[in-house]
Amino acid sequence: MNSIAPLTHSKISKSRIMVAVGAFLVSLSAWMRFFLSLVNWDYYRSLQIQPGAAYLLVYGLVSALVYTSAGILVLIPDDKWKKPVSILLMAGLVIYWIDRICFARSIEAQTALPFSLFLSAGLTLLALCLLNRGIPGRRLKNWNEINDRK
């Protein structure tokens, strides 16, 4: 009788799961924007919204791909995912800021602009801190203090 070795599962840390859930939630809203722009294409064109229905489609797709990729990569057990995920999160933040600053022209969007920018930057910083297990500069300072004692 052949014995099959039990499968070993690498444990995924809670911080990585939190970042993945956050990335998937943002990607879900981006996928919704993409699909709703497809479904309502004729309606949006009839309203003659600016910057246009094609912009909503492209922005939704790009944001969805960026955050879906980040959510998938963060769940890879290897540490090689940290840099690409950090780059994807920063790219997503930049894409969001460009959208909010350059294209969101409604009174509501302009009123909430400072809150939106600071909240998105704060959440991105939180995700990066979770990925790197703390603020990278502080971690380096503590590492130097420990090594100076030796």
Contact in structure between 37 and 53 (CB atoms under 8 Å): yes
H helix or E strand, kind and range, residue 111: helix 107-111
**pLDDT in the model for residue 137:** 56
Contact in structure between 27 and 73 (CB atoms under 8 Å): no
**pLDDT in the model for residue 142:** 56
Residue 80 per-residue DSSP state: G
Dihedral sign from CA coordinates of 77, 82, 88, 90: positive
Predicted confidence pLDDT, tens digits, the chain (150 residues): 455 545 455 677 888 888 899 999 999 999 999 999 999 999 988 988 778 888 989 999 999 999 999 999 998 887 788 888 888 989 999 998 888 888 877 788 788 888 888 888 888 888 888 887 766 555 555 555 555 555
**pLDDT in the model for residue 40:** 92
Residues constituting the chain: 150
**pLDDT in the model for residue 7:** 47
